[in-house]
Amino acid sequence: MGKTFLYAGAGILFLIGLCLLGYGILNVIGSTSASGSARLLSVGLGFGLVGGVFLAGGGGVGCGAARGGGPRAGGPPAWSR
């Protein structure tokens, strides 16, 4: 059951990351317009950076799920072994 939640969490992080990255790219493109605001560039870079962090987090959680992460039934915690 633990792997299922890790895969679901990874998928959700990927989707959020893609949305933030896409919104950041649109803001950067909008800042280059003649009627666009220069403020959109910093906002777009910020959203792109946060989106990249979410994508990296989703990749990390996905790798953790593939390696067999998640809670173990019984026994001492994994960090104490």
pLDDT tens readout for residues 18-62: 999 999 999 999 998 888 788 889 999 999 999 999 999 999 998
Residue 81 resides in a domain: no
Q: Which domain holds residue 12?
A: 2-68
Residue 79 resides in a domain: no
Total domain count, the chain: 1
Confidence of residue 76 (pLDDT cuts 50, 70, 90): low
CB 30 within 8 A of CB 36: yes
Residue 58 resides in a domain: yes
Rounded CA separation 8/1 (Å): 11
Q: For residue 80, what pLDDT is reported?
A: 62
Residue whose pair of structure tokens reads 């959020």 in the numeric block = 16
- H or E stretch including 19? helix 2-31
Q: What is the mean pLDDT of residues 2-19?
A: 91
Q: For residue 2, what pLDDT is reported?
A: 76
Greatest C-alpha distance within the chain: 64
Q: For residue 72, what pLDDT is reported?
A: 60
Residue 74 resides in a domain: no
Residue 52 resides in a domain: yes
